[in-house]
Amino acid sequence: MNTLQRSSLSTARSCRRFATSASTSASKASTEDTSTKKRERESLDPALNTHKFLAGNPHPVSNLRPVKYPVPTNESAEDRSLREQRERVDAFNQNFWVNNNNMFNKAKAEYEDKIRAQNGGVAATTEELSVFYKDFLDKAYERQMNYNRQWWIENIGLLWPSAKSVVRKWTSK
Amino acid sequence: MLSRSHLIRVAPARIQHRWFTSSCTNPHRLARIQPRTSLVTLGYSAKSSTPLNGSRIMFTRASSSIPPTSTSLSDNDKDSDPSTTPTTSTTPAGFQGYDIRWKEVKSPTISDYISIYLDLSKARLGALVTLTTMAGYAMTPMGASLPTLFALTTGTALCITSANAYNQFVEPPYDAQMSRTRNRILVRKAVSPLHAWSFATLTGLGGTALLAAAVNPLTAALGAANLVLYAAVYTPMKRVSIANTWVGAVVGAIPPMMGWAACTNSLDPEAWLLGLLLYAWQFPHFNSLAWNLRADYSKAGYRMMAVTDPKLNARVSLRYSLALIPLVTLAPYLDMTSWWFAVDGNIVNGVMLAGAANFWRKRDDKTARQLFFGSLIYLPVILALMMFHKKGKQDIVQEVGSLEQVSESGSAAQFKEEEDDDEYEYVDEDEEDEEEAHVAVKTA
């Protein structure tokens, strides 16, 4: 490893360390807030549990769960690339659904306000809402098609590397 | 100098240009050491670092230890400080801004696996579909062979399990959006997608093989075709066009036909009648369910009639509820049941029709729910009535005997049938064929 890579790595590492400590303190602060609620909600600290497979509660907008894949001490390059591929797919899904659901909620709220203004304060009926649902679905068609195609490709594309990783784990034991 | 050239050769292409202009001072040297050697692979494929169609994010180069220079096009990416790579930052990309409660997902124990596999196979739904297959087998006029019945049930159950598991493998992000499905195994990350896919493949292969070996090739072919239809046609079609409901109805119609074919190794008109009955039933069943889920379907991008054309949704369910009446009436005409079935079957049809008409008129959540639960009760009731009124071999032979007015052969045949009924457990394939020939000769 030459000097350039070494120096950039150390910068990256120190930046990462800073970010980790910043977000740890942030998560600590937030966990302190939640502990004041009646029921104490436990949460493992991901920075301390890198060897474990962690899953969090669903995101309020996208409804997807955040996942932290386990990082073993002797992680091989292929395992690392598989993990990063999985993380990329998760980020891809998260981005799409946050966008989609935000758009849906916003559009629905606007539509309901419009209807209420027209009706003079009466909430939208199921018939009127059906018009909105159809409109949203039709407008989202191409966006959804692109996402579907990409998701199918990514999902199936993860199978073979995962299989190889499992075989590697079996043969190394 | 040596170190500088070494430096340049190793760095990746995109950053390289900047390093050149900033660090190299000698232009001649610049030109000479323009590197054409292979770059250090950073552990990811080029394909996955290109922006994806339809998404507004460009992936941060999570794998590189060198700060990424790719610019992001989406707001959600502003959290990716170039030096915090998702590999070691505590929050995965895009999940900033809310209180995450992390829990460990432990490796499942044996008992966990049982509930996992039951969930993957959608056990309750699978059991109902297997029941329709058994009903199809029970409606055949020949004596039941228990080994065949057992193989048929197990094989069909495995095929259905496989279809449902494939469906769940493909759909976690969509399932997460809908309240009905958000506690499924893969949404909760209880098992890996590879595990679910392997389970689906193994059960599919096992089910088809069992049907081919222990029942007959026709049933195996139908089972395999149904599996492909559900997993590879219906599942993607749900997001493409409303025609998916019709494909799904075919998926529901095939199991009783499999049951019939398991005994006769052919698709007789009776088998088609059973298939058509289930096909018609699917519409009031599914359309009423979809009505109450239309908000979720719209948000998640599923193309269902309930969203795109509510009037069509209700009309189609009414149409097919009407179609159930001639189908039920056809059963005794084909000698499957006595004419009493036409009477009480149509009474049940009338109740279903009333529910469908109500839904068609009012089109609200309450009538939809009533129709859905009505359809759930309708199916076992109509199948039970069909089996109750089924014309046994004895009935057919008796009629034929009285028609021919040869009492000796008639009573001899009766005697033979009774004898055979006592020993039905030991009937093997050859004997069944002989009996088929016997009955065919008598009814000819």
Residue pair B57/B73 in contact by the 8 Å Cβ criterion: yes
**A78 and A116, same domain (yes or no):** yes
Tell me the C-alpha distance between B366 and B309, whole Å.
19
Residue B365 within a domain: yes
Q: Binning pLDDT at 50, 70 and 90, where does residue A19 land?
A: very low
**A24 and A68, same domain (yes or no):** no
Tell me the C-alpha distance between B364 and A125, whole Å.
10
**A50 and A131, same domain (yes or no):** yes
Residue B418 within a domain: no
pLDDT exceeds 90 at position B170: yes
Neighbouring residues of B65: CB distance < 8 A, sequence distance ≥ 6 = A5, A8, A9, A12, B85
Residue B426 within a domain: no
Residue B410 within a domain: no
**A29 and A47, same domain (yes or no):** no
pLDDT exceeds 80 at position B353: yes
**B262 and B276, same domain (yes or no):** no
Number of domains into which chain A is organized: 2
Percent of chain A predicted with pLDDT > 90: 48
**A55 and A120, same domain (yes or no):** yes
Domain ranges, residue A24: 1-40
Question: What is the least distance, in Å, from the CA of A10 to any CA of chain B?
Answer: 10
Query: Is pLDDT larger for residue B153 or for residue B14?
Result: B153
By the CB < 8 Å criterion, does B333 face chain A?
A: no
**B193 and B334, same domain (yes or no):** no
Q: Which chain A residue shows the shortest CA-CA distance from B181?
A: A63
pLDDT exceeds 60 at position B15: no
Which residues in chain A are contacts of B94 at CB distance < 8 A? 62, 91, 94-95, 98
pLDDT exceeds 70 at position B75: no
**B182 and B226, same domain (yes or no):** yes
- pLDDT (tens digit per residue) in B84-115: 444 445 788 888 888 888 888 888 899 989 99
pLDDT exceeds 50 at position B201: yes
**B185 and B40, same domain (yes or no):** no
> What part of B 155-194 touches A (C-beta under 8 Å)?
169-170, 173, 176-177, 182, 187-189, 192-194
**A84 and A14, same domain (yes or no):** no
Percent of chain B predicted with pLDDT > 70: 68
pLDDT exceeds 70 at position B428: no
Q: Do B307 and A137 touch (CB under 8 A)?
A: yes
**B217 and B284, same domain (yes or no):** no
pLDDT exceeds 50 at position B33: no
Residue B52 within a domain: yes
Number of domains into which chain B is organized: 3
**B23 and B164, same domain (yes or no):** no
**B49 and B113, same domain (yes or no):** no
pLDDT exceeds 60 at position A18: no
Mean pLDDT, chain B, whole residue set? 77
Which one of B267, B297, B317 terminates a domain? Answer: B267
Query: How confident is the model over B284-296, as a mean pLDDT?
Result: 93
Query: How confident is the model over B313-340, as a mean pLDDT?
Result: 92
Assigned token pair, B415? 């005697």
- pLDDT (tens digit per residue) in A35-59: 555 444 678 887 888 888 989 899 9
pLDDT exceeds 90 at position B417: no
**B256 and B290, same domain (yes or no):** no
- Which residue of B75, B96, B100, B199 is the best one to mutate when testing the A interface, meaning the one whose CB has the most A CBs within 10 A? B100
**B286 and B231, same domain (yes or no):** no
Which one of B204, B236, B267 terminates a domain? Answer: B267
pLDDT exceeds 90 at position A90: yes
Can you give the pTM of this predicted structure?
A: 0.71
**B120 and B238, same domain (yes or no):** yes
How far CA B232 is from CA of A78, B184, B240, B248, B265, in Å, comes to 30, 20, 13, 12, 26
Which one of B267, B289, B322 terminates a domain? Answer: B267
- pLDDT (tens digit per residue) in B392-412: 655 666 666 666 655 555 455
Tell me the C-alpha distance between A129 and B295, whole Å.
9
Residue pair A76/A41 in contact by the 8 Å Cβ criterion: no
**B238 and B328, same domain (yes or no):** no
pLDDT exceeds 70 at position B183: yes
Domain ranges, residue B232: 109-267
pLDDT exceeds 60 at position B226: yes
Q: Do B170 and A138 touch (CB under 8 A)?
A: no
Query: Is pLDDT larger for residue B68 or for residue A88?
Result: A88
- Helix or strand run (H / E) with residue B104: strand B103-104
- pLDDT (tens digit per residue) in B39-54: 333 333 333 444 444 4
- pLDDT (tens digit per residue) in A72-85: 888 889 899 999 99
